[in-house]
Structure 1
């Protein structure tokens, strides 16, 4: 439990540090405040807030399921999976917002005649990237742990299905980042799936775009996976040891 709390605290510190650097950049060097970065930081924290909300909602739902079980024995078996599916679906739509901060490394906010030193923007974008990755790992870790607990494994090792789920989420997150950066798609555009698919199909039909998209998704997914797998494994092991 201590490891999990420390990890969460580290992510919060990174998020705050990212905001401070963006604000100080404008005040110290007398340049316009780059509001899109602040918006992206806020959006990046939404998956963490949503993941916590899923757990809190489950806690609130528990006594309701207990009462429903007194009325109908199978009520909990039906209601719980529906709640988890819907809540996880909302979280999944928001998840790419955290990994999206990786793309700030393109320095799109910087101009050739900027009075801001290059070293400052390098640190700022690195912190933004790390905070986004931290939010991604933390939010996915929360839902991953919830899935493991829901599956009630026979031993302390997370079941293979939970790792498959995590892998799928990481890949979908990379796909979402590509859609956001190159097609300028937002999470709420899923409300218009036909239009979204047509836009994606037209984009991929352009010469070289399918290969570029594949390379983008693979490299970004591997980056998140390389960080996520050992961090979740260590945190889960620490949690199990504390629980025992």
Structure 2
């Protein structure tokens, strides 16, 4: 499990370095939106870490408040979570210009690094949520990770992430727009007035949710399998 966190940290650092070197080496304008998106991609796991720390502290000093802290922190985490996987959309190379002095090969590895850092950040977040949910619901019971409520929760989170990505890319909605819920709901409602946009949203959400689910199985699956093996041995 430690390797997953180390790898995620390494990818974020590597992507950041590539963005900074792009401007430094090739004398181009620093593309700050990429740096901002990397930061936003890291924020959800930081929120989750704070939520876990606060919950542990409340269990000791004020147990009745633990549930409320988990709910509030969980909502904040879920609102910010699509920012992690949103880095996948950097693959459109929209930052390049026709006369860009940066070699195409450099920008290819740059955007792939950005996208993969977002994907792995998403996996880390979903895995931590998977673990918290399973432990909260089933404690140390055998097979807690693989019980259907845990798997349904993971699937629901992945669908929510994919839909959040759609809202961010096509309606230009940000997580903090929730501060003005009325205006936010109007924008979303107006966007989905036509059948075409509804169909596009369903297709986008399903496609990206399946992709993230498959990556989650490949990356986090061996960790979950290891937990199951330890439970059987115990």
Where on the TM-score scale, by shorter chain, does this alignment land: which range?
A: over 0.9
**Which residue of structure 1 aligns with residue 196 of structure 2?**
208
Partner Cα distance (1:207, 1:233) in 2: 37
**Which residue of structure 1 aligns with residue 86 of structure 2?**
100
Misfit runs of 4+, over 3 Å = 239-244
Please, what TM-score do these two structures have when normalized by structure 1?
0.89
Report the CA distance between 1:221 and its aligned residue: 0.8
**Structure 1 position 161 matched with structure 2 position 149:** yes
SS in 2 for 1:47: helix
SS in 1 for 2:66: helix
Contact persistence 1:52–1:142 (CA under 8 A): no
Report the CA distance between 1:210 and its aligned residue: 1.5
Which structure has the higher relative contact order (CA within 8 Å, separation 6+)? Answer: 1
**Which residue of structure 1 aligns with residue 131 of structure 2?**
145
Q: How does 1:37-186 map to 2 (within 5 A)?
A: 37-65=34-62, 76=63, 78-151=64-137, 152=139, 154-158=141-145, 159-186=147-174
Counterpart of 1:17 (choices 14, 17, 29) is: 14
Partner Cα distance (2:141, 2:10) in 1: 36
Partner Cα distance (2:216, 2:125) in 1: 11
- Summarize deviations over 1:186-218 as a string: whole Å, max 9, x none: 101112222112111211224622211111111
Contact persistence 1:99–1:132 (CA under 8 A): yes
- CA-based RMSD of the aligned residues comes to 1.6
**Structure 1 position 31 matched with structure 2 position 28:** yes
Report the CA distance between 1:232 and its aligned residue: 2.6
Instruction: Structure 1: give runs of 5+ residues left out of the alignment.
Output: 66-75
May I ask how many residue pairs the two structures share in their alignment?
Answer: 230
Contact persistence 1:22–1:37 (CA under 8 A): yes
Report the CA distance between 1:155 and its aligned residue: 1.3
Instruction: Structure 2: give runs of 5+ residues left out of the alignment.
Output: none
Please, what TM-score do these two structures have when normalized by structure 2?
0.92
Contact persistence 2:58–2:65 (CA under 8 A): no
Partner Cα distance (1:27, 1:42) in 2: 20
